[in-house]
Amino acid sequence: MRLLEERICEEGKVLGDDILKVDGFINQQVDPQLMLEIGKEFANHFKDRGITKIATIESSGIAPALMTAMEMEVPLIIMKKSPSKVLKTDFYNTEVVSFTKGTSYELTVSKSHISEEDHVLIIDDFLANGEASTGAIRLIRKANATIAGLGILIEKSFQPGREKLEEAKVEVYSLARIASLIGGNIQFKQN
């Protein structure tokens, strides 16, 4: 998506050789107009798939996921990150390792909002090692719901997330694919 790639070039900051900071328009301050265009793009790409729900992981996925849900006229489910392993019987839960923080957390979703009839489109901000996305997929599969696809804003294609998802037979649609961040240079991968 050209609009997103241009914004990344203008405002993205590279930390080390593998972290891209996009705090000015995605992670800390959110550009609603950009999120609306992203929502339209995902809705258009995944139309005709019988999607009944959008799901995302709190918190950075919420803005683009909400715009996608609005465009597709379906509800948004927010998967919560919970630090404790307290047993909650009315929730599905799974453990996820956080790439950026080097910690792990429990991802949970309420059993009452997802069922085997659902076709779920997962939206998230980044795809890196694929731990967050594969965790979200595990949770949705615990509810016996169908994964309709995964919509990602920024894929770091030099990390193994996409391969893991393809192995899990999930269609990944990434709006910006980054081939390399080495030396602080943002190189996009051509589709």
Q: Smaller CB distance to ligand 5GP: residue 52 or 56?
A: 56
Stretch that binds ligand 5GP, among 19-27, 28-36, 46-54, 67-75 (CB under 6 A): 19-27
Among 43, 51, 109, 128, binds ligand 5GP (CB under 6 A): 128
Please count the residues of the chain: 191
Shortest Cβ 20–ligand 5GP spacing (Å): 4
Q: Smaller CB distance to ligand 5GP: residue 16 or 190?
A: 16
What is the rounded distance in angstroms from the CA atom of residue 19 to the CA atom of residue 100?
8
107 binds ligand 5GP (CB under 6 A): no
Binders of ligand 5GP: how many residues, by CB under 6 A?
Answer: 20
**What one-character-per-residue DSSP string does 158-182 give?**
TSTHHHHHHHTT--EEEEEEEEE-G
What is the rounded distance in angstroms from the CA atom of residue 155 to the CA atom of residue 157?
6
User: What separation, in Å, do the N-terminal and C-terminal C-alpha atoms of the chain show?
Assistant: 11
Contacts of 167 (CB under 8 A, 6+ apart): none
Contacts of 102 (CB under 8 A, 6+ apart): none
Phi and psi at residue 111, to the nearest 5°: -65, -25
Shortest Cβ 14–ligand 5GP spacing (Å): 9
Shortest Cβ 2–ligand 5GP spacing (Å): 20
Among 19, 36, 70, 78, binds ligand 5GP (CB under 6 A): 19
Among positions 145-164, residues that touch ligand 5GP (CB under 6 A) are 156, 161
Among 130, 140, 147, 150, binds ligand 5GP (CB under 6 A): 130
60 binds ligand 5GP (CB under 6 A): yes
Burial class for 103, CB neighbours closer than 10 Å (0-12, 13-18, 19+): exposed
Q: Which residues contact ligand 5GP by CB under 6 A?
A: 19-22, 27, 60, 99-100, 124-133, 156, 161
